[in-house]
Structure 1
Amino acid sequence: MNAPEPSLSHLAEVVPPLEQIVVACAIAQSQRIGAQPLIRGLDDAAFAALCARCLPGVPLTNGRSASAPFDEFDELFALLCEHASPRDELSVWIAAAIATAAQRDEHLWQDMGLPSRRELSAILNLRFPSLAALNDRDMKWKKFFYRQLCLRAEVPICKSPNCADCSDLAVCFGPED
């Protein structure tokens, strides 16, 4: 006997609201700007599973692109996955959405289509707490991620030995309106 299809209310229990909002916004933003794939790093089966779990009844395809791959997607995706907690499928999907959006030009929360930086910070603290904790001075998330990647690669990127003395302080820590 086959198990019944889960109801929408059951899916809401499986995928907490914050995670649903983040995934839905990331996909909607990608569709709005015509990005292909909508979320990089997920094969067709993983993308279909993500949509079935987080956006039931919404017919989407991830698409493919013949264009060059994003420069730092793999490194950022790996960094996020290393800090995922719990290390489950949903964290991997969210890491892929964040790493995809990070390749765009606006603030990360805007690139993900989120209402504000607050939702981005909340999901990072919830799903990637050890990484989020390293951002103890509230640096802009995209700047923070790229700083982490440069530190890992032992590539100096900063003009100054510490943030307090840097001429780019406002660029890294200023408001994100």
Structure 2
Amino acid sequence: MNAPDLSLSRLIAAQPPLEKLVIACVLAESQRVGAQPLIRGLGPASFSMLCATCLAGLELDNGTAPAPVFDEFDELFELLVEHAAPLDQMSLWLAAAIATAAQRDNHLWQDMGLPSRRELNAILRLRFPGLAVLNVGDMKWKKFFYRQLCQSAGVPICKSPTCGVCVDHAECFGPEH
């Protein structure tokens, strides 16, 4: 009787890619909070293809809802797409999923339904490396994204000229629980 092959490389190879796991987590969290649509910015054909690709044939209804009067979904989606590598369908889906989750109220990794910030860091480094590398101080991701958006719009958002001397440093760079 042969023992099963439990080598690390075989176990890793048997796991779905991180991208698919992140998409599945975002969809599950969107369902849990009753979000409509589950992932914004995707037409019916694209959402159907996402389900076929990431959910092993499980079909979901993305739903529809009017966009809020004001949020930053479009701007954040574009920021992510600008830094996507490769710029392929999966990166577009991930950008939409991240931008959707970022409109919620908790830490981004929580709003995405991820178990910890580690997975968020990993997907950003994997699919949006040019953006991830800019977060040199390990700022909380939502704060970092919005800081990037404000800087590109020429809107000053910080109370201090540098983060190191800001009274809110712990809020931006502290632990995420």
Distance 1:16 1:132 in 2: 23
Alignment-derived partner of residue 53 in structure 2: 53
User: Which SS does the other structure have where 2:133 is aligned?
Assistant: helix
**By how many angstroms is 1:64 displaced?**
0.2
Alignment-derived partner of residue 153 in structure 1: 153
Contact kept in structure 1, 2:52 and 2:59, CA below 8 Å:
no
Return structure 1 stretches of 4+ with deviation > 6 angstroms: none
Contact kept in structure 2, 1:29 and 1:111, CA below 8 Å:
yes
Q: Deviations over 1:96-120 (max 9, x none)?
A: 0000000000000000000000000
**By how many angstroms is 1:61 displaced?**
1.0
Q: State, as a whole percentage, how many aligned pairs show the same letter.
A: 70
Q: Which runs of 5+ in 2 are unaligned?
A: 1-12
Does residue 131 (structure 1) correspond to residue 149 (structure 2)? The answer is no
Q: Deviations over 1:69-120 (max 9, x none)?
A: 5510000000000000000000000000000000000000000000000000
* Number of residue-to-residue matches in the alignment: 164
How do 1:7-18 residues align onto structure 2 when only pairs under 5 Å count? 17-18=17-18
Q: Which amino acid aligns with 2:37?
A: P
How do 1:1-177 residues align onto structure 2 when only pairs under 5 Å count? 17-66=17-66, 68=68, 71-177=71-177
Q: State the superposition RMSD in angstroms.
A: 1.4
Q: Which amino acid aligns with 2:129?
A: P
Alignment-derived partner of residue 6 in structure 1: none
Distance 1:74 1:57 in 2: 28
